[in-house]
Amino acid sequence: MAKTETSKIKAARAAAGVSQAELAQRAGISRQALGAIEAGTYQPGVTVAIALAREVGQSVEALFGSGPVYTLESATWMGDKVHRVANPGERVALSRVNGRIIATPLQNPALKLAPATGVIKSASGARVTVESFRSREEIGSTLAIAGCDPGVSILSEWLARRRPPIEVVTLSCSSRSAIQALNAGRVHVAGIHLRDPGSGEYNVRPARSVYHRPAEFVTFACWEIGIAVKSGSPAPIERIDDLARPGIRIVNREIGSGARLAMDDALRNIGLKGSEIAGYDRTLGGHLEVAAAIAAGEAEAGPTIRVASETYGLGFIPIREERYDLVVPRREMESEPVRAMLDALNSSRFARELAELCSYDTRRTGAIVDSPDARR
């Protein structure tokens, strides 16, 4: 990562004919601190910013209104599923993962404007220049999670209430894409629910076949996965094999998602092929998206989790219970945002809140199901 930044305070000081030592003394800070501010490595607090602006005869907004600008290498930019071209003006969230600043595109807002950490000012291929609205310290307090669990919003709100200034940014994607994002160093944590077909166990073996670095597997919760179905139909969908009836359309999850794997297993058990179901090849990127499409009348059914189905007032045909784990690289275990997340997962109050709001089984929330130490 290379950072480019034009120091407005340095230019204003030169225009006012004031030396660095003199301005520092007038503002009540050390010369070293002023040097760091001019170099863009330190963001001044409100009191210092006001003092500096007063001494050079400019407004705080004129001197510090624009945040630092970061030029990010191609490896630090990731779209929803794969690398894609970024567009100037696109809003992003910034986090620091393993020492690098990562730009994560924001999800489409649902009837509200989503806050952003920064805005892309220019793009050339996979290299983007981002103007940040946050200090380096604030970026370092942001937790980046990849995965498909809508319940992460409960974690985000919990941390906002109890562990400020920790914030959460999510990269909504399938379990396999989440592991790939973790492998590329683009997030702190990957959330997954992948069943190993050989053993029937969840997450550890599928993840370790892709991610080979030391990591802890921490349970977020257990949930029911199944088929959300449109309610109130004169010919209701009551069983999995009803999906093949004439006039029934479904929406699906993308290849590599746990929900699609669960539905494919269910279809295989009754001898039904995906090609026999209308809409099988139409895919959406998340549990809530599937439920929303059914509620809007775009389909009659689709694979998702119970909480998504209940959120949109849909019926639900359960397939099985699955465990959703968070894969945390050992190198991130002591970072500030990850420690805050782990503290939340080990709070009985958080577990109770998650259970009530999402209908999850949280009896194992916070439990380490696999770690490098256990494998020695």
Six-digit token pair at 131? 């103007």
Q: What is the DSSP letter of 33?
A: H
In this predicted structure, what is the pLDDT of residue 12?
A: 87
List Cβ neighbours of 253 (8 Å cut-off, separation of 6 or more). 174, 259, 260, 263, 283, 284, 285, 287, 290, 302, 303, 304
Which of helix, strand or coil describes residue 326?
strand
Cα 224 to Cα 303: distance, rounded to the nearest angstrom? 11
Residue keyed to tokens 């003006």 = 89
pLDDT profile of the chain (376 residues), mean per 10 = 54 88 89 83 72 82 66 54 61 80 69 73 82 86 94 93 90 93 94 93 94 96 96 87 95 95 96 96 94 95 96 95 97 95 95 93 95 62
Inter-residue contact 146 to 285 (CB < 8 Å) = no
Measured distance CA(298)–CA(294) in Å, rounded: 6
| pLDDT for position 3 | 38
pLDDT attached to residue 101: 80
Roughly what angle, to the nearest 10 degrees, separates helices 31-39 and 46-56? 90
Q: State the pLDDT at residue 75.
A: 47
The predicted model scores a pTM of 0.74
DSSP state of 195: B
The helix-helix angle for 336-345 and 348-358 (nearest 10°) equals 70
Q: What backbone torsions phi and psi does residue 209 show, to the nearest 5 degrees? A: -70, -20
Which pLDDT belongs to residue 9?
Answer: 85
Residue 110 has what pLDDT?
55
What are the chain's domains?
Answer: 2-66 (1.10.260.40), 67-140 (2.40.340), 141-376 (3.40.190.290)
* pLDDT given at position 79: 46
- The CA distance from 65 to 12, in Å, is 14
Q: From CA 280, how far away is CA 302, in angstroms rounded?
A: 9
Q: Scanning the structure block, which residue is given the tokens 């746990």?
A: 258
Across 98-209, the runs of DSSP E, i.e. the strands, are 100-105, 118-124, 127-132, 142-147, 167-172, 189-192
Determine the pLDDT at residue 328. 97
CA distance linking residue 285 with residue 337, whole number of Å? 26
End-to-end CA distance of the chain: 35
Number of H helices, E strands in the chain: 14, 15
CA-only gyration radius of the chain, Å:
24
Does residue 133 contact residue 118 with C-beta atoms inside 8 Å? Answer: yes
Structure tokens at 250: 């479904």
